[in-house]
A = this chain, B = another copy of it.
Amino acid sequence: MPSSLSESRESQPRASAPHDRPVQLLDPSGRRVPHAPYDDYVADVSGDQLASLYEDLVIVRRLDVEATALQRQGELGLWPPLLGQEAAQVGSARVLRPDDFVFSSYRENAVAYCRGVKLTEMLNVWRGTALSGWNPYEVGMATPAIVIGTQALHAMGYAVGAKLDGEDSVAVAYFGDGATTQGDVNEAMVFAASFRAPVIFFCQNNQWAISEPVTLQAQRPIADRAPGFGIPSVRVDGNDVLAVMAVMRRAVEQAREGGGPTFIEAITYRMGPHTTSDDPSRYVDPLEREEWAGRDPLARVEAHLREAGGLDDALAASIARRADEAAAEFRAGCTEQVDPPPLTMFDHVYAEPHRGVDEQRRQFGEYLESFEEGVN
Q: Which residues of A contact B (CB under 8 A)?
A: 2-3, 5, 8-9, 12, 160, 163-166, 180-184, 186-187, 190, 193-196, 216-220, 224-230, 258
Complex Cα distance, B348 from A313, in Å, reads: 77
Task: Considering the complex, give the chain B residue whose CB is closest to the CB of A223.
Answer: B228
Chain B nearest CB from A262 CB (Å) reads: 14
Task: Report the nearest B residue to A220, measured CB to CB.
Answer: B230
Which among A9, A181, A196, A228 has the greatest number of chain B C-beta atoms within 10 A? A228
Structural contact, B229 and A220, CB atoms closer than 8 A: yes
* Residues of chain B within 8 A of A228, CB atoms compared: 220, 224-229
User: Does A217 contact B194, Cβ atoms closer than 8 Å?
Assistant: yes
- Give CA–CA (A220, B5) in the complex, Å: 33
**Interface pair B224/A219, CB less than 8 Å apart:** no
From A181, which residue of chain B is reached at the shortest CB distance? B190
A154 to B217, CA, bound (A): 18
- Contacts A2-B164, A194-B216 known; list 16 others, CB within 8 Å: A3-B164, A3-B166, A5-B163, A5-B195, A9-B195, A183-B187, A186-B186, A186-B187, A194-B217, A194-B219, A218-B229, A220-B229, A224-B227, A225-B228, A227-B228, A228-B229
Q: Is the CB–CB distance between A218 and B190 below 8 Å?
A: yes
Chain B residues near A219: list those with CB within 8 A.
193-194, 229-230
Q: How far is the CA of A224 from the CA of B2 in the complex (A)?
A: 34
Structural contact, B230 and A165, CB atoms closer than 8 A: no
Please give me the residue from chain B that is nearest to A186 by CB atom: B186
Chain A interface mostly helix, strand, loop or mixed? helix
A195 cross-chain contacts in B, Cβ below 8 A: 5, 9
Q: How many Å lie between the Cα of A171 and that of B221 in the bound state?
A: 26
B229 near A165 with CB under 8 A, answer: no
Known contacts A164-B2, A183-B182, A225 near B229 by CB under 8 Å: yes
Cβ B227 vs Cβ A220 within 8 A: yes
* Residues of B close to A3: CB separation below 8 A: 163-166
Question: Which one of B164, B180, B194 contacts A9 once the chains associate, using CB atoms below 8 Å?
Answer: B194
Chain B proximity of A212: nearest CB distance (Å): 10
Are A164 and B218 in contact, with the CB atoms below 8 A?
no
Cβ contacts under 8 Å, A194 to chain B? 9, 216-217, 219
Residue contact A196 to B160, C-beta cutoff 8 Å: no
Q: How far is the CB of A44 from chain B (nearest CB, A)?
A: 31
Q: A264 → chain B, closest Cβ, in Å?
A: 15
Give CA–CA (A226, B229) in the complex, Å.
Answer: 10
Q: Which B residue's beta carbon lies closest to that of A183?
A: B183
Looking at the assembled complex, report how far the CB atom of A224 sits from the nearest CB atom of chain B, in whole angstroms. 4
- Give the distance to chain B from A186, nearest Cβ to Cβ, in Å: 4
- Residues of chain B within 8 A (CB-CB) of A196 are 8-9, 12
Partner of A183, one of B184, B230, B258: B184
A-B pairs, top 5 by smallest CB distance, nearest first, are A183-B183, A219-B230, A225-B228, A186-B186, A228-B228
Show 21 residue pairs from A and B whose CB-CB distance is below 8 angstroms, ordered by the A residue.
A2-B164, A3-B166, A5-B163, A5-B164, A5-B195, A9-B194, A9-B195, A9-B196, A181-B187, A181-B190, A182-B183, A183-B187, A186-B187, A193-B220, A194-B219, A218-B229, A219-B229, A219-B230, A220-B230, A225-B229, A226-B228
Q: Which residues of B contact A182 (CB under 8 A)?
A: 183, 187
Report the bound CA distance from A332 to B70 in whole Å.
Answer: 76
Query: A26: shortest Cβ distance to chain B, in Å?
Result: 29
Interfacial chain B residues near A5, Cβ < 8 Å: 160, 163-164, 195
